[in-house]
Amino acid sequence: MKKAIILLSGGLDSATCLSIALDLGYKCFGLSFDYGQRHKFELDCAKKLAKHYKIADHKIMKIDLRSFGGSALTADIEVPKHRDVDLQKNQIPITYVPARNTIFLSFALGYAEVINCNDIFIGVNALDYSGYPDCRPEFIESFEKMANLGTKSGIDSGSIKIHTPLIDLKKFEIILKANLLDLNFKMTHSCYDPDETNGRSCGHCDSCILRLAGFKKAKIDDPISYDE
């Protein structure tokens, strides 16, 4: 059984990625990050998903990106609400966390190498996304090249692969795909700014806007709770 590392934030996209990797027959190892994110609530979902799918292992790596700051997700900067995400697609928003996916993928690379695995899944998505540079195909391709040069397993095999099964899908297509794979959407969390006490989603940050529009277009009910 081929092994795969799944970057598992607990969000809709990474959960879909996990369902896809399992469906493809991979033995899955989840990797999540407690990085000082405002929406740490997503980690509960990552744990639920890991347990539900009985994946081979699930590591939660603690790293302090808050000590760098520079993002609404890791500093005392307000999460923007009610943005027109479509119109502002070409601007990198303040919720962008500097080098986050590079850091996450680097850890995945180290983990993969230790367990003798050449396949890493990440749920980036270049269509209905928030304009982050580290979600684009050219970044992923470039990371993959670097990974094959900078590791023992890359040099030995030359075949470290960064899988991005969602990269060309729109949000509603991701939701349809996840639905076909019986993903329990209740086990996913997308909001950048959830209620601290009950974890309810705000409904108005970029991530909620994209999620809600996606469910609407997919004609599927989103079972998670939103603030009134």
Instruction: Choose one: 142-150, 164-172, 180-188, 196-204; the region binding a copy of itself (CB under 8 A).
Output: 142-150
Give the span between the Cα atoms of 60 and 50, in whole angstroms: 11
Q: How far is the CB of 204 from a copy of itself (least distance, A)?
A: 23
76 binds a copy of itself (CB under 8 A): no
Please state whether beta strands 119-121 and 161-163 pair in parallel, antiparallel, or not at all (unpaired). parallel
In whole angstroms, give the CA distance from residue 14 to residue 176: 14
Quote the CA–CA distance of 107 and 197 in Å, as a whole number.
31
Contact at 8 Å (CB) between 72 and 20?
A: no
Nearer to a copy of itself (CB atom), residue 154 or residue 214: 154
Candidates 146, 167, 181, 212; binder of a copy of itself (CB under 8 A) is 146
Q: Does 67 bind a copy of itself (CB under 8 A)?
A: yes
CB of 93 to a copy of itself, least distance (A): 10
* Out of 51, 52, 89, 133, the residue judged to bind a copy of itself by CB under 8 A: 133
Q: Which two tokens stand for residue 114?
A: 């230790």
The closest of 49, 54, 26, 56 to 118, measured between CA atoms, is: 26
Q: Among residues 2, 51, 142, 168, which is the contact residue for a copy of itself, using CB under 8 A? A: 142
Shortest reach from residue 150's CB to a copy of itself, in Å: 4
